[in-house]
Structure 1
Amino acid sequence: MGLSHSSSYHSSHVRSVTEYGPVIVKPHSEIYPRLPIYEFMGYDNKSYSPQFELFVQSYQALYDRPCEDVRSYYQVVGLHALPYKAYDGVTGGVHEYKNETDWIKGRYGGYCHHGDVLFQPWHRPYLLLVESLLINEAKRIALQYPDNERKIYIKAANKLRHPYWDWAEKEAIKGIPYAFTEDEFEINTPKGMKKVRNPLKSYILPEDLSYPLEKGRNPTDKPHYKIPGLDRNPFTPAGYPTIRYPNANYEDQYHLLNLNMTIYHPTVFRPGFYQTFHIDNYLHFSNHALRSNGTEMGDYLTAHPKPKLIGYSHFASIETTHDAFHFVAGGPGGHMSYADITAYDPLFFFHHVFVDRLFALWQEIYVTENISVNGTHTLEKFSVVNEHTALTPFRKSKTKFWTATDIRYIEKLGYTYPELMKFKGQDRKKLQAYVLAYYKPDQLQGRRFFAKLTIGTYKIVGSYVIKVFVDMKNACCETPMTSPHFAGLVAVRRKPREGATYFVGSVDITAAMERLGIRTQSHDYFYDVDIKTGKLNKEAIFDVANDINVVACYLDGKEISPKEAGVKKVEVYSLLHDEVDPNFLVENSGQHHYTKEY
């Protein structure tokens, strides 16, 4: 049964070296917005400069706390996954992991929920915890400013909320903001203007993260460092920073990150969210896990209610598109690409605040049980989870944990987002229209085409992508994504002994068809097929069976067969994508062109 009551958990007597008592996540006393990073950094004006200056110093303050302090950055990011230790003594009474390879009972070693309906709700108190710790540091630092500045900084500390990076808005195609790439910032500190290390670029590990690998695969082997096999987590020795797209000298390669942003931004990110905000079914919106027959995971246990409505034929869940950004941000060997170590990169929190914003917008537009197939640090595999399940390890009091019901309304938590402020009190359809226009992938009108990939049982683990090419039979992992034939991709992150779940990812192939001169008007079998020969007419749609090619690639470029990667079938649908109606994305609302099975 689900562990939904606080009595199901117990706490050890582990205490912070600097503060006593359990970590309790409390709502903020006042409501202030979480801002986009460009505005927060003062790209256009300097009105938020005091907040930004406190924010930078507060991140560093969390970094500087001792490792054994439960309010340190090290411990807070570690609760997400590695080192698979109980956070603040919250164990749930189930098997404790001894190391990262101890996959007894097949549970996920961290507290985070992946591939179930608590994926988004769980991250909400997690972000609130990090935000609260930063605000506490900011308030402490504000009191240290000179008399003539102190009031300004105290006020800024009270208003401080964690900003986000919207990596799907139009300007993001230019690449990662300099907030995450600069080595130093010059800011006003309590001791005056100073150059300080930029804590948003990386986090320097105070202890070893993961385990040493074979020679040549560890950062200590630079300048001949090679990324490890992607079925293993990279090793980060104490004293080394988190990294993005590491080269042989274990240095960031932002030119590769920015290049991939220009590619994925129009082909994956914007089309993904544009589709997401047409979905009114929370099960499909929230996560990527499905059963083999296309239904939601929901009837593994007899106590769990059966799914109500099935038939979504081409959609992108918020988790699916979220996964893709992790790969783009981290790249081969980068921390963001690996679920077990991803939270150590500070970019993780800017990413997830953005995803929380999308979740909040969706909740406002649509106002709305599943199974934790992988389990967590406190849940056995296949435990039933629902809105009353405890979101461990986040306490709302000494004896009770937050639940999805508790975090439903973000204003009660003390924060909001600019769009929610702008459309507050208005018809929800206006907000939906705004969001759809904001993330509309291009100006093409009319019929749009989607390649739907059903991905299931697999023989491999690790992080990889499944690229979709149009009209290119010889496409391979080395084919550049700048090719006009490249349509998009689906990101996959598999863990050892993870449940053999299915999920669906879709790629909007319309832009690639337009580039290649392939007709995108409505098609009809009577006109497209020669009734005498049964073959496609020359002016008909391309041969879907042969001209939609999927290529599965590890992040290091190694190719694997689609079948090994778990691809079960590829289907192509088309529909009038700009028509927003209750049947959007339901299978019978579009035109099915072909199914190719593997």
Structure 2
Amino acid sequence: MRSFYQVAGIHGLPYTTYDGVTGGDKEYHNDTDWETGRFGGYCHHGDVLFPPWHRPYMLLFESLLVEEAKKIASQYPDNEKEKYVEAAKQLRHPFWDWADIKAMEGVPKIFTSSEIEINTPDGKKNVKNPLKSYTLPVDLSYPLEKGQNPTDKPNYNAPNFTYNPYTPAGYPTVRHPNSNYEDQTDLLNSNMSVYVPTVFRPGIYQMFHISNFLRFSHHGVNSDDTQSGNIFSGHPHPTHPAGMAHFASIETTHDDFHLVCGGLGGHMSYVDLATFDPIFFFHHVNTDRLLALWQGIYPDSWVPKTIELNGSYTDELYKAIDENTDLTPFRKTKTEFWKSSDVTDIEKLGYTYLEVEKFKGQDPQKIKAYVLDLYKPDPHYGRRFFVKLTIKAGKLDGPYSIRVFIDLPDANAQTEVTSPHFAGLVSMWSSTKNHVHDNTFVYGTVDITAAMERLNIRTQVRDPLHEVNTTTGQLGALWIFNVEKDINIVPVLLNGEGVSPDEAGVTMIEVFTFEHDKVDPNFLDENSGKYYGSKKF
């Protein structure tokens, strides 16, 4: 139960009981519940428990890490033992901030080197790097067609993303695997150089403007704060600006990193398999850090009462959830489970983050100013432009991404994301064809301001006499761009194949502008946006 395999298996596959925690006669059954759309792992995605559920998960992993460290520390020679015993007591699991500006240089070598040198109780040794990959002790998932399994290398082809890749016993986890089932680190680093400034940093920057936990916590919320599935919400009339807070949720940007890190066939790209890649835990400790920073800014907002639409190994579909819902399978005692209400204060849980500690007891606006400065996408302030996508889930098997290009009508799946016309993307990580409830929509936004500036598409009012409606005071949309012609949506599968917006479930794109940092610093949380047109598919 304390093995890496068992702990990683809590999240998704192999859909088995952990620590004896089941849903009784209502637990997940692979042959039946999958057809209804119920998820087979314990984890929560697409509901308000996404951030708090992963906190005790990281605590469990960290506690086991510290326990192992203490055992190893006691084995050092007497002249070294004291410092290692003390270090083990202080040890906490590190995070990797993949949205830091330095992340544009690529993934740190500690995650990609085949071997590392460590000072063991028996002296310095070169060892296989445990952070690069994890070798499966048993088969994970099921064999696919010939050519799509690791055993078929050197003619391995990453499988269609409809299926979880098969990993036989004795084979490692991979990232962006090639035909020989080896990591393509150069490709991964290239992706980081593109997506850090265009996706990760803008997403986090927007996220910290959201003061409502419902909107902050996950992407499955409509403009009127109902959960996705209400077909009539999220489609505001052109004369009524829409609140956009929830479109930049912590879960949305978290999803983007999973896809960028894993690639087609890489474990991090698949909900059921992601935890078996050791980098998952560095990713999620960072996600917990972002949650802790957000809590420092908005200490009075926490888990509201809502509905669990995806279900889990222990929870049925449509179960009512709130801050007192059990975060299974994490036991607080032999008879009680941790709840979201138990994990609000990280200091009481035995840890903190340097930035949280630095601003402890200070005005929340100070930590907000710090975070916004840390993650500001670019030096531009004033008017920012966003493309909002409304996507019907379940029309296409995920994961896939929907790229947004500006002023490039012929953009397609082969158009490089290094193009100056590329503005960003929205990820559909776990949408599964025919396994999603009717009228379930995902909403995402892409900040296109930087792309507009690169292309010299102006973003400011220059000529009020000719460009501003003298009745409404608003800038005419066509003076900026034509939504029908100048914004191109390109859905792309993980294998690089392009599909149409309709096939990908895109039903509408809309353009909004916001004035912030001058007029309304909380622009994403207040209905202060201006509507600039739409296009339906």
* 8 Å contact kept, 1:100–1:109: no
Choose the corresponding residue for 2:270, options 338, 343, 360.
338
Which of 335, 342, 364 is the aligned partner of 1:399?
335
Report the CA distance between 1:327 and its aligned residue.
0.5
Residues 586, 414 of structure 1: alpha-carbon distance in 2 compared, 3 angstrom cutoff: closer
The letter of the residue matching 1:297 is Q
Aligned-residue offset at 1:537: 9.4
CA distance in 2, matches of 1:333, 1:580: 45
C-alpha contact 1:573 1:592 (8 A) present in aligned 2: yes
Query: Contact 2:516–2:522 at 8 Å: present in 1 too?
Result: no
Question: In structure 1, what is the Cα distance between the partners aligned to 2:229 and 2:463?
Answer: 39
Q: How far apart in 2 are the matches of 1:101 and 1:323?
A: 27
Asked if structure 2 preserves the Cα contact closer than 8 Å seen for 1:298 and 1:371, the reply is: no
**Contact map agreement 2:215 2:225 (CA 8 A) in 1:** no
Q: What is the rounded CA distance, in whole Å, between the counterparts of 2:356 and 2:66 in structure 1? A: 22
8 Å Cα contact 1:83-1:100 kept in structure 2:
no
The alpha-carbon distance between structure 1 residues 150 and 229, as it changes in their structure 2 partners (threshold 3 A), is same
Q: Does 1:73 align with 2:4?
A: yes
Query: 2:484 & 2:139 partners in 1: Cα distance?
Result: 49
Deviations 1:133-174 (CA, angstroms, capped at 9, x unpaired): 011101111110001111101100000000000000111110
- Answer yes or no: is 1:151 the counterpart of 2:89: no
Deviations 1:382-427 (A, max 9, x none): 1111100000000010000000000000000000001011111211
Cα 1:420–1:204 change in 2 (3 A) is same
Residue 100 of structure 1 and its aligned partner are, at CA, apart by: 7.7
Deviation at 1:517, TM superposition (A): 1.2
The residue aligned with 1:250 is: 181
How many residue pairs match? The answer is 515
Q: How does 1:120-519 map to 2 (within 5 A)?
A: 120-291=51-222, 294-297=224-227, 311-313=242-244, 315-367=247-299, 368=301, 369-493=305-429, 494-495=431-432, 497-500=435-438, 501-519=440-458
Name the counterpart of 2:37: 106
Unaligned runs of 5+ in 1: 1-69, 301-309
**Offset, 1:336:** 0.2
Distance 1:321 1:311, change over 3 A: same
Structure 2 CA distance for partners of 1:149 and 1:386, relative to 1, 3 Å: same
Q: Secondary structure at the match of 2:165?
A: coil
Q: Secondary structure at the match of 1:186?
A: strand
Offset from partner CA, 1:202-234 (integer Å, 9 cap, x none)? 000000010000000001110110011111000
Higher mean displacement: 582-591 or 235-244: 582-591
Deviations 1:99-136 (A, max 9, x none): 58861543100000000000000000000000000111
Judge conservation of contact 2:520–2:528 (CA < 8 Å) in 1: no
* Residue 98 of structure 1, CA deviation: 5.4
Partners of 1:452 and 1:504 within 8 A in 2: yes
User: Contact 1:83/1:210 (CA < 8 Å) preserved in 2?
Assistant: yes
Alignment of 1:37-48 (within 5 A): none
Q: Provide TM-score, normalisation by structure 2.
A: 0.92
Q: Distance between the aligned counterparts of 1:276 and 1:79, measured in 2?
A: 28
Preserved contact between residue 388 and residue 403 of structure 1 (Cα < 8 Å):
yes
* Contact 2:47/2:309 (8 A) holds in 1: yes
| Structure 2 counterpart of 1:366, one-letter code | Y
Structure 1: which amino acid aligns with 2:227?
Answer: M
CA distance in 2, matches of 1:538, 1:244: 42
User: Equivalent residue for 1:35?
Assistant: none
Alignment partner of 2:508: what SS?
Answer: strand
Structure 1 Cα separation of the partners of residues 187 and 32 of structure 2: 31
On the 8 A contact 1:283/1:296 being kept in 2, the answer is no
Q: Which amino acid aligns with 1:296?
A: T
Match of 2:506 in 1: 567
- State the match for 1:18 in structure 2: none
DSSP-derived class of the 2:504 partner:
coil
Change (3 A) 1:370 1:98: closer
Q: Is the 8 A contact 2:74 2:85 kept in 1?
A: yes
Is the 8 Å Cα contact of residues 82 and 210 (structure 1) preserved in structure 2? yes
Instruction: Check whether the contact 1:523–1:541 (CA below 8 A) recurs between aligned residues.
Output: no
CA distance in 1, matches of 2:477, 2:386: 22
Q: CA deviation at 1:295?
A: 3.3
Partner SS for 2:450 = helix
Residue-by-residue CA offset, 1:165-200 (whole Å, 9 max, x unaligned): 000011111000011011111111111111111100
- d(CA) in 2 for partners of 1:597, 1:525: 30
Distance 1:75 1:597 in 2: 46
Query: How far off is 1:446 after superposition?
Result: 1.9
| Cα offset, 1:556, TM superposition | 0.5
The answer to whether the 8 A contact 1:203-1:346 is kept is yes
**Conserved? CA contact 1:244–1:330, under 8 Å:** yes
- Answer whether contact 2:23 2:314 (CA < 8 A) is retained: yes
| Whole-angstrom CA distance in 1 between matches of 2:229 and 2:114 | 51
The structure 2 residue matched to 1:88, chosen from 19, 22, 30, is: 19
| Alpha-carbon distance, 1:565 to partner | 1.5
Higher mean displacement: 390-399 or 472-481: 472-481
- Partners of 1:168 and 1:450 lie apart in 2 by 20
Structure 1 pair 487/140, CA: closer, same or farther in 2 (3 Å)? same
Distance in 1 separating the partners of 2:405 and 2:14: 38
What is the Cα deviation at residue 71 of structure 1?
0.7
SS at match of 1:103: helix
Matched, 1:557 2:496: yes
Aligned pair in 2 of structure 1 residues 538, 102: CA closer, same or farther (>3 Å)?
A: closer
Q: 1:579 to 1:174 in 2, by over 3 A?
A: same
How much is the aligned-residue C-alpha RMSD, in angstroms?
2.2
Q: TM-score, normalised by structure 1?
A: 0.83
- Any stretches of 5+ residues in structure 2 without a counterpart? 231-240
Shift of 1:93: 1.0
Residues 391/342 of structure 1: CA separation in 2 closer, same or farther (3 Å cut): same
- Percent same amino acid among aligned pairs? 59
Deviation of residue 313 (structure 1)? Answer: 2.7
Q: Which amino acid aligns with 1:78?
A: G
Deviation, 1:474, is 1.1
Which amino acid letter does the alignment assign opposite residue 72 of structure 1?
Answer: S
Alpha-carbon distance change, 208 to 241 in structure 1, aligned in 2, over 3 angstroms = same
Residue 528 (structure 1) aligned with residue 467 (structure 2): yes
Letter aligned with residue 264 of structure 2: P
Secondary structure of the equivalent of 1:474? coil
Cα displacement (A) at 1:586:
4.8
- 1:89 maps to a residue whose letter is G
